Chains A and B, each alone.
Chain A
Amino acid sequence: MAILNSFTTACLKNIPGNALNKHLFFTLRAFYNSQSRSVLGISEERAISPPIGLERTTVKNLKEMPGPSALANFIEFFWRDGFSRIHEIQLEHSKKYGKIFKSRFGPQLVVSIADRDLVAQVLRSESAAPQRGNMDSWKEYRDLRGRSTGLISAEGEDWLRMRSVLRQLIMRPRDVAVFSDDVNAVVDDLIKRICVLRSQESDGATVLNVNDLYFNYAMEAVAAILYECRLGCLENEVPQETQEYISALHLMFSSFKTTMYAGAIPKWLRTIIPKPWEEFCLSWDGLFKFSLIHVNKRFEEIKTQLERGDEVKGGLLTHMLVTKQMSLEDIYANVTEMLLAGVDTTSFTLSWATYMLALHPHIQQQIFTEVTNTLGPEKVATANDVQHLPLIRGLVKETLRLFPVLPGNGRVTQDDLILGGYFIPKGTQLALCHYSTSLDDENFTEALDFRPDRWLRKDTSDHVDNFGSIPFGYGIRSCIGRRIAELEMHLLLTRLIQKFHIGLSPLTDEVKAKTHGLLCPGAPINLQFIDREIQT
C-alpha cells in the first residue's frame, strides 16, 4: 500500500500543468525576478509560462555559442592526432573560447563545460537515471552475442535496477572496508615482486615501467574482490592460464581504446572498413570469456556445496549468485565491465602517485613521518587506519587532481537546461572538462603545484568547495568502484612509503600525460625502491 501510494504521488507530481517541463520552468524562474516567490509558490506546477520576451533577450541559443569550427576541429583531431592530446586541447579551448563552448565531431555536437559551478549545476540537477553518452555500439555487441549490459553500458530502468543492487554492496565505505585483508594479501605479493624485480637490475633498486607492476596489482586486487579468487598475476612464475589472460587483457585494454571509436564509424562503412568493429567484438569476446570462466567456477562450487548440504560462505560474487537479485547474465556483464573500469584507472593513478613522490622527496618524507608516527615501522594498515593518515588521503586526491584518469566526462541532457546563459535543448551531449577545472588557479591556488597537504582540514567544519576536482564523478551515476579503488590505493601507498624510499631512476625522463582513452603516462616510469632502515 505504501508502495502504491508513493507510486501515485510520484506520478501525479509529474503531470505537467502545461507543455513546459518542470526543469526548464525552474531554471527560467531565475530570470523572473519581478515575481515574488509566494506568488510563484501558489501556481508552481501550473499556470505560469515564461515571459517570452525576457527569455529571448537574456537567454542565448546554441548558435551564438563560441567554439572551434568543424573543420578546425577535424584537422586538430584526425590530422594532428588530437585524440592523444584531448586533455591539452580541452585547456587550450577553454582559454580561447571561455567556460562554455561548442565543438563539432562530424554530425555530433558537443557542448563543453570548463567551469566548476556549471559542472556542479549539471550534476546537481540530474534525473533518476543519468546518461553519459551514446552506448549504441556497446549495446549492439551485447545484442549480437545475447549478452546483458552492465553498469557502464546500461541505460534507464535497466541501469537503475542493477545500480540499486550493486551500490548496496560495494559503495559504502564500511562495506568495502571488510576487504582490507584480501587487499593486504595482494599488497604483500606486490612488495615481494618489487624485491625480485629490483634484484634483477644492475643497481639492485630499479623497477622498470612500474605501471606494468601496478596493472598486475590492480587486476589481482579487483579479482580478489570480484571473483573471490587469486589469479597469480604477481607471482614469479605466473600460472600459464593466468599469463594468457594477462596478455589477452593487455591486448584488449590497448586495442580497446582504439576500437572505442568503432562506434563512431557508421554501420554502412563497416563493409568497407571492417577492422575496427571486428576488433571491438573480439575484445569484448575475450573480456566476457574471462569473466564467464571465473563466475561459472564459483557457481559450480556453490552448487556442489549446496548439494552436499554444506554451508555456503563467501564474498561479493557468492552474495550475488546466492541472492539472485540479478540474473546470471547481469552478473557476467557487470563483473566484466567492472574489471574493465577498475584496472587501468587504478594502475595509472598509482603510477602518477609514486612518480610524484619520487619527484618530491621532501613531501615523501613528510608522508613517511606521518605514516611511521601513526603505524610504526611494521604495522600493516587496514581501512580503519586510513582516517589517521590524512596525508595518504591527500596524496591520492592531489594525484587525481593533477592527473584525473578521466580528463573529461560526458552527460546527455535529459531536460532542457539553461547553462551559463545559453539554452541547451534536451538530448545535447555535454562534455564536463574535469582536467581544466582541476588545473584552474581560480579553483586551486598554484594549481600546477603538487601539494597533498592542500587537502588537510583544520577541523571538521573546515570545508572547501571542491567541485573543481571530482575524479570519481558526483552523484547517482558516479564511479561505483570508488571505495574499492581508494582502499587499494590507500593500503598500497601506505605500505610502499613505510617500506621504501622511492626515487627516480636515471632512466626516467620527464614523463608527460597523454590521453589514450584515459589519461595515462606518456612514457615508462622507472623508479628505485630503496629499503628504509627500520629504527628500533
Chain B
Amino acid sequence: MSLLIALRRLAHVRLGELSRRTTAVTLSSGARLSGLRSFTVGTQALRSDKVTFHFINRDGEKITVKGSPGDTLLDIVINEDLDFDGFGACEGTLACSTCHLIFDEEVYKKLGRVTDEEMDMLDLAYGLTETSRLGCQICLTKSLEGMVARVPDSVTDIRQSKDESA
C-alpha cells in the first residue's frame, strides 16, 4: 500500500515534467514528432517572472510559494511538493476533482472561463462552493500575484462532520 502511494508520487514528479512537454505537442495526424524533445514550456522562466501564490491547507496554515506563469495550480502543488493528501489524483486529466480549491469571490472572478468538462467534474467535488474551481484547470498569470486558494476539507473530514450532525 505505502509502496503504491510512493510510486504514485514518483510518477507524479516525473509526469509533471512530461505533461508539460507532451501537451505542447499536438497529437493530430500531421503533428511533427521531431519537435517533441526540444519542447519545454515555462521551465526557463526567470526568477523575477515568478508569481507569488498562497495556499491555505486543511489545518488553516498559509503556505506561500512561487510559480511560473503558465503553470497550473496543480503543477505548483507538485513542484513545491506540497503535502495535501490525495490532491490531484488523476494528474490534471479531468477525471477526479481531487484538485478542488476554493477562492474568495474577487479572486474567483479573475480565474477565467470554466469549461463544461470542468463543471461536470466540479459537480462531483466534495464540499462544493459557489467559488470552487479545479486546481489543474487554472493557469497562473501575473494577475494572480499574491492571491490565495483554500484546500477544502478532505473526504474523511467532511464525512465526520456530516455524521456528527446526523
A475, B93: Cα distance in complex, Å: 10
User: Known contacts A33-B164, A461-B130, A476-B90: does B1 contact A127 (CB below 8 Å)?
Assistant: yes
A168, B123: Cα distance in complex, Å: 23
A29, B34: Cα distance in complex, Å: 54
Count residues of chain B with CB under 8 A from any CB of chain A: 59
Contact (Cβ within 8 A) B94 A172: yes
User: Does A47 interact with chain B (Cβ within 8 Å)?
Assistant: no
User: Known contacts A173-B94, A315-B29: does B5 contact A164 (CB below 8 Å)?
Assistant: no
A319, B159: Cα distance in complex, Å: 43
Contact (Cβ within 8 A) B33 A314: yes
Contact (Cβ within 8 A) A6 B10: yes
Contact (Cβ within 8 A) B156 A27: yes
- A118-132 residues with Cβ-Cβ distance < 8 A to B are 120-121, 124-125, 127-129
User: Does B32 interact with chain A (Cβ within 8 Å)?
Assistant: yes
User: Does B38 interact with chain A (Cβ within 8 Å)?
Assistant: no
A9, B5: Cα distance in complex, Å: 10
Count residues of chain A with CB under 8 A from any CB of chain B: 73
- Which chain B positions have C-beta within 8 A of A41? 59
- Which chain A positions have C-beta within 8 A of B117? 173, 483
Write the A463-484 contact mask toward B (1 if CB under 8 angstroms, else 0): 1111100100011101000110
* Stretch with Cβ within 8 A of B (4 or more), from A178-186, A191-199, A513-521: A178-186
- Which chain B positions have C-beta within 8 A of A169? 22, 27
A314, B34: Cα distance in complex, Å: 10
Contact (Cβ within 8 A) B160 A29: yes
A41, B156: Cα distance in complex, Å: 13
User: Does A457 interact with chain B (Cβ within 8 Å)?
Assistant: yes
Contact (Cβ within 8 A) A311 B34: yes
Contact (Cβ within 8 A) A457 B81: no
A311, B13: Cα distance in complex, Å: 31
| A76–chain B nearest beta-carbon distance, Å | 33
A12, B2: Cα distance in complex, Å: 9
Contact (Cβ within 8 A) B6 A157: no
A311, B30: Cα distance in complex, Å: 11
Contact (Cβ within 8 A) B31 A315: yes
Write the A126-147 contact mask toward B (1 if CB under 8 angstroms, else 0): 0111000000000000000000
Contact of B93 among A125, A168, A390 (CB under 8 A): A168
Secondary structure of the A side of the interface?
Answer: helix
User: Does A3 interact with chain B (Cβ within 8 Å)?
Assistant: yes
Contact (Cβ within 8 A) B156 A125: yes
- Which chain A positions have C-beta within 8 A of B119? 457, 460, 463
User: Does B62 interact with chain A (Cβ within 8 Å)?
Assistant: no
Contact (Cβ within 8 A) B90 A475: yes
User: Does A78 interact with chain B (Cβ within 8 Å)?
Assistant: no
User: Known contacts A160-B11, A318-B33, A474-B124: does B91 contact A14 (CB below 8 Å)?
Assistant: no
Known: A167-B95, A475-B89. 6 other contacts (CB 8 A): A11-B2, A29-B160, A169-B27, A178-B28, A316-B27, A460-B114
CB-defined A-B contacts under 8 Å, sample of 29: A3-B13, A6-B13, A7-B9, A9-B83, A10-B6, A13-B2, A13-B5, A120-B124, A121-B159, A125-B155, A128-B4, A160-B8, A167-B95, A168-B15, A168-B18, A168-B22, A171-B94, A173-B94, A178-B28, A228-B29, A311-B34, A312-B33, A314-B33, A463-B123, A464-B123, A466-B124, A467-B124, A476-B95, A478-B95
User: 4 closest pairs, A vs B, by CB?
Assistant: A14-B2, A171-B93, A178-B28, A26-B156
